[in-house]
Chains A and B, each alone.
Chain A
Amino acid sequence: MPNNLTTRFVGRLRAREPEAWFELWENFGPILRAQLARWGRGRIGVETVQDLSQETLAALSGAIDRHDPSKGARFSTWLLAIARHTLGDEIDRRMAQKRGSGVKALSLDDAGDRVGQGETPDDAYERDVFEAKVAAALRAAERDSDFADFNVYRMRVLEQRSGKDVAASLGTSEATVSRRLTAVRTRIRDHLFTVFSKYSFTDEEWQELTRNGLDLNPSKKDEASFDEAVGEIYHRFSRSGASAGPSSASASGRLHRHFASGESRVGTG
Chain B
Amino acid sequence: MEFAVFALVPALAVLAAITWIVWQLLKGLRFLFSRLFRGVGFLGGRVFRFVRSEVVEAVQFTGAVLTAGVLVPLTGVNFVIGRWSTARHYAKAIEDEVVGAGLGLYRIALANPLHFVGLGAVLHGLERRIPDVVDRAPRRPSKRAALQFDGYDVVGTLPAGGSGALLYRARPQKETLERFERDGHPMADEVVIKSFALVQGSTLPQIVRESRALEAANRLGLVYEHHLEGDRFYYVMEFVEGDDLDTVVQRLHARSGPEGLGDRELGLVLNYTQDILTSLDRFHTGGLWHKDVKPANLIVSGDRAVLVDFGLVTPLASALTLTTHGTEYYRDPEMVRLAMQGVKVHEVDGVKFDLYSAGAVVFSMIENSFPAHGNLSQISKRCPEALTWVIRRAMADVGSRYRGAWEMRDDVAAIVAARDPFALRLADLPSVQRGDAATREDSFAGSAPDTERSANHAARVAAGADDVFDEPAFGSGRRRGARGTAACLLADQTAPSTRDGRRRRRRRVIAAAGLVFVMLSGLAALTDHLDRRFANADRGAVAASQDLRLDADEMRAYSAARAGVEEFAHAAARSSRRAEFEAPRQPAPTSFVAPMSSHVDKDAQAGLLANARVLFLDDPVNPPTGRHLDKMRDDWSESGYAIVPTTETDAFARARAVVGVGNVADDDVRARLQAHLDRTTDVDIIVWVSDKAEQVLVRSGLSQ
> What is the interface of chain A, defined by CB distance below 8 A to chain B?
1-8, 10-12, 15, 18-19, 21-22, 26, 30, 42, 50, 70, 98-105, 107, 110, 112-113, 117-118, 135, 138-139, 142-149, 151, 154, 158, 168-173, 176, 179-180, 182-184, 186, 189-190, 193, 197, 203, 206, 216-217, 234-235, 237-239, 241-242, 245-253, 256, 259-260, 264-269
Contacts and interface: CB of A to CB of B under 8 A. Distances in A.
Nearest to A257: B324
Q: List 6 A-B pairs, minimum CB-CB distance, nearest first.
A: A183-B446, A3-B587, A171-B427, A242-B372, A248-B162, A147-B400
B325 A193 contact: no
Contact of B329 (A70, A242, A253): A242
A114 to B, nearest CB: 11
Given A135-B376, A148-B438, A171-B439, A102 B336 contact: no
B162 to A, nearest CB: 3
Given A149-B445, A250-B324, A252-B336, 14 more contacts: A1-B586, A4-B584, A4-B590, A7-B590, A101-B100, A102-B107, A171-B439, A179-B447, A184-B446, A234-B376, A245-B370, A253-B336, A267-B212, A269-B314
10 contacts: A1-B587, A8-B595, A8-B693, A30-B373, A100-B101, A146-B446, A158-B378, A170-B426, A170-B439, A238-B376
Interface string B29-58: 000000000100010010001001100110
Interface of B: 38, 42, 45, 49, 52-53, 56-57, 60, 63-64, 67, 96-97, 99-104, 107, 111, 127, 161-162, 205, 208-209, 212-213, 216, 292, 294, 312-315, 318, 320-331, 333, 336-337, 339-342, 344-345, 369-370, 372-378, 385, 389, 392-393, 396-397, 400, 425-427, 436, 438-441, 444-447, 450, 453, 457, 484-485, 581-582, 584-595, 598, 665, 693
Contacts of A216: 581-582, 585
Interface of A is mostly: helix
Contacts of B325: 248, 253
B99 A101 contact: yes
Nearest to A46: B128
A248 B161 contact: yes
A105 B127 contact: no
Contact of B63 (A30, A100, A179): A100
B158 to A, nearest CB: 16
Contacts of A203: 586
A102 B404 CA distance: 51
Given A246-B294, A268-B313, A135 B584 contact: no
A147 B369 CA distance: 24
Contacts of B322: 269
B370 A100 contact: no
Contacts of A12: 595
A259 B425 CA distance: 46
User: Main secondary structure on chain B at its contact with chain A?
Assistant: helix
Contacts of A19: 337, 340-341
A2 B64 CA distance: 52
Residue from B342, B372, B436, B598 with most neighbouring chain A CB atoms (10 Å): B372
Contact of B320 (A11, A197, A250, A267): A267
B39 to A, nearest CB: 9
Contacts of B64: 100-102
Contact of B392 (A154, A183, A237): A154
A151 B392 contact: yes
A210 B171 CA distance: 67
A249 B162 contact: yes
Contacts of B52: 107
A138 B376 contact: yes
B323 A269 contact: yes
A147 B397 contact: yes
B314 A268 contact: yes
Contacts of A267: 209, 212, 318, 320-321, 323
Contacts of B344: 269
Nearest to A254: B324
Given A8-B693, A99-B63, A148-B439, A105 B598 contact: no
Contacts of A30: 372-373
Nearest to A167: B441
B500 to A, nearest CB: 13
A248 B100 contact: no
B105 to A, nearest CB: 9
A252 B589 CA distance: 33
Contacts of B372: 30, 241-242
A31 to B, nearest CB: 12
**Residue of A22, A135, A173 with highest tally of chain B CB at under 10 A:** A22
A169 B429 CA distance: 11
Given A101-B96, A268-B313, A142 B397 contact: yes
Nearest to A182: B446
A177 to B, nearest CB: 9
Contact of B370 (A102, A183, A217, A242): A242
Residue from A19, A107, A171, A269 whose CB has the most chain B CB atoms within 10 Å:
A269
B201 to A, nearest CB: 14
Nearest to B162: A248
A239 B378 contact: yes
Contacts of B396: 142, 147
A102 B378 CA distance: 38
B371 to A, nearest CB: 9
A42 B590 contact: no
A238 B377 contact: yes
Contact of A11 (B330, B393, B585, B592): B592
Contact of A98 (B100, B337, B447): B100
Contacts of A135: 373, 376
A246 B329 contact: yes
Contacts of A148: 436, 438-439, 445, 485
A81 B52 CA distance: 24
Contact of A4 (B209, B315, B586, B665): B665
Contacts of B205: 264, 266
A6 B102 CA distance: 51
Contact of A268 (B49, B212, B294): B212
B397 A18 contact: no
Given A100-B100, A248-B162, A256-B336, A139 B374 contact: yes
B587 A197 contact: yes
A70 B365 CA distance: 47
B238 to A, nearest CB: 21
A197 B584 contact: yes
Contacts of A139: 374-376
Given A22-B340, A100-B97, A248-B161, A176 B444 contact: yes
Contacts of A103: 100
Nearest to B292: A248
Contacts of B331: 250
